[in-house]
Structure 1
């Protein structure tokens, strides 16, 4: 029996529903593995379809096409290493999330996922049947166990595989990003290694899919938990990893250890990757946004430049009589720093025409938020017209604090196809701008240096829809607002929890009220990069109409 076994690990970026394209990526990885003398080339969970499929995979025609592509891969990859790839499987009338082992021109083995996640963005219990926990499969004499993603988060599947003769664990994953998840994965997998005494590979997808970001970060652990391989976060990569047989069992030889960036960089990279992939996979190559001179649109413009390059970004300033000179100057300076196109489209004339049109109906009433929102909606109309004319996707720029409490105009500044900041609170927007000004990475398409003018970061935030307007005229200070939202949204806490944390009960009640009455806006809002476990959409599903309020904390 051989004392060496080579694995090729393909941390690649599939496109949802592009079965032939995903199969082509698998063939490319297999060819690289064959050239490198691999025994097994491994791809992540549900790679042939892309992930998270949601209900698409329940469509029988889609199932049949996906399985046919896997069967074609088996035939095409007969002369060389085995190929492991995730995809749907049918057994009788049941549908499974499966891991296929292709060898010698046929499907040599299938593993069915046992533990089906039914939380956060996952709803697998209504889609798939739970597979039985089975023993390992063999490739060139090596007995391999493959707990599929969630199966590795529990001890039973790995223990059963170890007890039935597995010599290593290869865990295929479609594990989406949220902050601090990288260290959590390491902790869980170290636990599996310690419990079983087996070396383990955690192989993860990479790439953006709608709001979710699969961050890669594939790694390998030797018995005892020592790290043998760390592949990069947020980037495609193929690595060749060697196993050697020792007196104490199989061990990985040392491989490359990519650095793990701190959380601010991870979040920023996630926004860049998510936007780049959302546009590429949806068929867009260019974007535009309304550049206000404020911090949110400045950060979105910078993310867009880093994702697509400045040549593919259009920034449009749409000033009214309330737009300050500082905003005009800062918006232009930002666009010049980024090197993108900058258009200047005043809205005063259009706003006056709308005001005149509505004057007979509004006669006898006082100006209020209605007139403020007309400005925002006019900007949305003009930006969508530019988007239609030039085929550029409009980005919207509201941060999580604003999205949470509805501090945005529906059909106005909420207009757009994607929102990179949707899951980033305002206080973190400031922190992220400072980080980007001080750092540049090779995965950024935008320029290095202090691209966001310091005055944008320092000035008090304002919607500039009325004279001398500031955000804190309508909302608690962002440090207070974000602290309360963190408790109510991210930690699913109560008013009493807010009071116990030192926040004023009246502030907490006001924020809770705004949070609930804004659900209808979020229901119609653009998707945005998921950065936490409580992002708005699949992570937090609330009724649009809801009269319950929390009376705790008195």
Structure 2
């Protein structure tokens, strides 16, 4: 029996001293209480650090703290942890010092040498280079090392021996992606299975996405069963980002039995050490967390928003509330962890805003018990419109001139920018805080929002949630979090609308041009589906009558109700596809950071280029066929 401490720590990216201090404290606190402490992957430097890996001073700082951690094991317990390892005498393919994503095993104040690498660390074999991951940009792996020195890479996936109570214990230690091997040609876990370790350790830095934990259990349970030994999975907590997309790391460190059962699982986002007695044989009763997806989404959004505020050093937030669902959910999430005098809701009506939505915004603030302000924009809009409309701009030599015109569409955008760039920004500065961006993923997909207007703020906490997710989160907040109606029922019932003109009058049932039950799922197929759809696949399914099923439209939703013929369907399809690939890209590039909860969050998880929409030849043929039926 081995007593193992699962060290689920909040990793602070780019702060090796801060991370090492946590580790040193936990090592000191657990002397005599366990045999082995297991920390996460890259727990000293952090994981998502952009190109900070190119700074030699930063690398030396990581090495310094690594040595301090090793020295701290002089009086026990043994420790395994993740850090960057540097071979200053070799180069990466970019010409910079060679770096490895490495694990280090230390005991009695000394490092255990890897038995086949003959280095004071082990090296990650599989470097993910997809979605938000770009390990191969910075790190060398065992596959390249093997090729360089002419040895099989399998030689470097080797158990290391740890003496426990006078008995040698063979540990198979791997890092995160090494267990997610199924789509790789090289399979480290299969190699370990042939070498029969007594215990397998997986040190991870694994960000949360919806449904991720269930997949982890399937993957790691299968690997434990394959190897035939217990498996200890240790993941970090905290938030990290790649400059554009913010990720929560949910921890959920877990011990699996030799036959793949879950023996113990730490709570999501918990920080601390859980000590587990791990047997190297036998079968144990297991418990598996059964959180619903909406619970996980809520926890990620709340945790991510709170920790991001903490990381930028502020506790005050301004939320522009319209009386609609997006701003209401944002406000309710912030109200969970901010004090009443740290949250200011601001309603900014014009003549197009109904008394219905204005009253709903006020009721929301009353229910949350936070600060509230109503700051009309009609007067300032009038000044801007008067200043610009019919103004004649003339070149200084008098040769060229043009007359400005504030048409309806321009005036709609002026309202949004007056609320965001002028008023909310000024209110936040006066309040000593920041203001939130309340946009959702459907709007971001097609750029249905005004740059520097409602697409502005310090963070888009709902930017990776489809509209139906926002409604579900609102229901969850009322029913499970607050257990009372903080978001008024009228907000769920009111027609979603920007209320920027008389054509969006909510009391007349007029609102956004998006049909959310349909467009949510259409846009999902473009952005998140594994085999990402284009208009070609969509039109093909429309013509053969399978589109409603293919998109998973709600029961009872009929396309014919909204698009009575092929022409109207195609017009709508091409409108949004052109926006998604056109101006919406420019808006997303300039949008606030997005808090990721799914695969393919906008930013570095959904990489794109500025171009224009194109349609395949097959689509053009299908279109011609559809319009002539």
Q: TM-score, normalised by structure 1?
A: 0.93
Task: Give the 3-state SS of the residue equivalent to 1:84 in structure 2.
Answer: strand
Which one of the candidate residues 179, 183, 200 is aligned to 1:152? 179
1:463 and 2:498 correspond: yes
Q: Give the Cα–Cα distance (whole angstroms) in 2 for the partners of residues 462 and 97 of structure 1.
A: 49
Paired residues of 2:390 and 2:405 also in contact (CA < 8 A): no
Q: Give the Cα–Cα distance (whole angstroms) in 2 for the partners of residues 282 and 427 of structure 1.
A: 30
Q: 1:221-232 counterparts in 2 under 5 A?
A: 221-232=256-267
Give 5+ residue unaligned stretches, structure 2: 91-97, 114-120, 143-152, 393-402, 542-546, 549-558, 560-568, 624-629
Deviation for aligned residue 1:507:
2.7
Which one of the candidate residues 96, 120, 140 is aligned to 2:131? 120
Q: Evaluate the alpha carbon distance shift between residue 364 and residue 511 of structure 1 in structure 2; reply closer, same or farther with a 3 A threshold.
A: closer
Paired residues of 1:147 and 1:170 also in contact (CA < 8 A): yes
Q: Evaluate the alpha carbon distance shift between residue 402 and residue 108 of structure 1 in structure 2; reply closer, same or farther with a 3 A threshold.
A: same
Which one of the candidate residues 351, 373, 382 is aligned to 2:413? 373
Q: Give the Cα–Cα distance (whole angstroms) in 2 for the partners of residues 51 and 284 of structure 1.
A: 24
Deviation for aligned residue 1:407:
0.8
Q: Give the Cα–Cα distance (whole angstroms) in 2 for the partners of residues 201 and 390 of structure 1.
A: 47
1:103 and 2:107 correspond: yes
Q: Per-residue CA shift, 1:249-290, capped at 9, x if unaligned?
A: 4358768x5733110110111011111111111222221111
Paired residues of 1:287 and 1:393 also in contact (CA < 8 A): yes
Task: Give the 3-state SS of the residue equivalent to 1:536 in structure 2.
Answer: coil
How many residue pairs get aligned? The number is 539
Q: Per-residue CA shift, 1:68-124, capped at 9, x if unaligned?
A: 111112223321201221110012322001111122223324111110000110011
Paired residues of 1:200 and 1:221 also in contact (CA < 8 A): yes
Higher mean C-alpha displacement, 401-410 vs 387-396:
387-396
Task: Give the 3-state SS of the residue equivalent to 1:20 in structure 2.
Answer: helix
Q: Per-residue CA shift, 1:315-351, capped at 9, x if unaligned?
A: 1111111111111111111111112111221112211
Higher mean C-alpha displacement, 423-432 vs 359-368:
359-368
Paired residues of 1:376 and 1:409 also in contact (CA < 8 A): yes
Deviation for aligned residue 1:238:
2.1
Q: Per-residue CA shift, 1:380-436, capped at 9, x if unaligned?
A: 111111222333121110000111111111011111010111110112111111121
Q: Per-residue CA shift, 1:428-463, capped at 9, x if unaligned?
A: 1111111211102xxxxxx54221001001110010
Instruction: Indicate the structure (1 or 2) with the bigger Cα radius of gyration.
Output: 2
Deviation for aligned residue 1:46:
0.5
Task: Give the 3-state SS of the residue equivalent to 1:8 in structure 2.
Answer: strand
Give 5+ residue unaligned stretches, structure 1: 441-446
Superposition RMSD in Å: 2.0
Query: In the alignment, which residue of structure 2 is the partner of 1:30?
Result: 27
Paired residues of 1:294 and 1:327 also in contact (CA < 8 A): yes
Higher mean C-alpha displacement, 124-133 vs 511-520:
124-133
Q: Give the Cα–Cα distance (whole angstroms) in 1 for the partners of residues 452 and 205 of structure 2.
A: 34
Q: Give the Cα–Cα distance (whole angstroms) in 2 for the partners of residues 254 and 111 of structure 1.
A: 33
Paired residues of 1:85 and 1:101 also in contact (CA < 8 A): yes
Q: Give the Cα–Cα distance (whole angstroms) in 2 for the partners of residues 253 and 391 of structure 1.
A: 54
Task: Give the 3-state SS of the residue equivalent to 1:322 in structure 2.
Answer: coil
Query: In the alignment, which residue of structure 2 is the partner of 1:83?
Result: 79
Q: Give the Cα–Cα distance (whole angstroms) in 2 for the partners of residues 120 and 113 of structure 1.
A: 19
Query: In the alignment, which residue of structure 1 is the partner of 2:224?
Result: 193
1:5 and 2:43 correspond: no
Paired residues of 1:71 and 1:106 also in contact (CA < 8 A): no
Q: Evaluate the alpha carbon distance shift between residue 64 and residue 403 of structure 1 in structure 2; reply closer, same or farther with a 3 A threshold.
A: same
Query: In the alignment, which residue of structure 2 is the partner of 1:443?
Result: none
Deviation for aligned residue 1:207:
1.7
Deviation for aligned residue 1:353:
1.5
Q: Give the Cα–Cα distance (whole angstroms) in 1 for the partners of residues 139 and 275 of structure 2.
A: 32
1:264 and 2:298 correspond: no
Query: In the alignment, which residue of structure 2 is the partner of 1:207?
Result: 238
Q: Give the Cα–Cα distance (whole angstroms) in 1 for the partners of residues 521 and 613 of structure 2.
A: 24
Q: Give the Cα–Cα distance (whole angstroms) in 2 for the partners of residues 403 and 470 of structure 1.
A: 23
Query: In the alignment, which residue of structure 1 is the partner of 2:486?
Result: 451
Q: TM-score, normalised by structure 2?
A: 0.82
Query: In the alignment, which residue of structure 1 is the partner of 2:429?
Result: 388
Higher mean C-alpha displacement, 517-526 vs 349-358:
349-358
Higher mean C-alpha displacement, 512-521 vs 358-367:
358-367
Q: Per-residue CA shift, 1:457-505, capped at 9, x if unaligned?
A: 1110010111240697653411111111011111121223323124644
Task: Give the 3-state SS of the residue equivalent to 2:595 in structure 1.
Answer: coil
Q: Per-residue CA shift, 1:7-44, capped at 9, x if unaligned?
A: 00011211111211111111232234325x11111111
Paired residues of 1:209 and 1:274 also in contact (CA < 8 A): no
Q: Evaluate the alpha carbon distance shift between residue 470 and residue 425 of structure 1 in structure 2; reply closer, same or farther with a 3 A threshold.
A: farther
Task: Give the 3-state SS of the residue equivalent to 2:330 in structure 1.
Answer: helix
Q: 1:363-442 counterparts in 2 under 5 A?
A: 365=405, 367-380=407-420, 381-440=422-481
Q: Give the Cα–Cα distance (whole angstroms) in 1 for the partners of residues 172 and 380 of structure 2.
A: 66
Task: Give the 3-state SS of the residue equivalent to 1:54 in structure 2.
Answer: coil
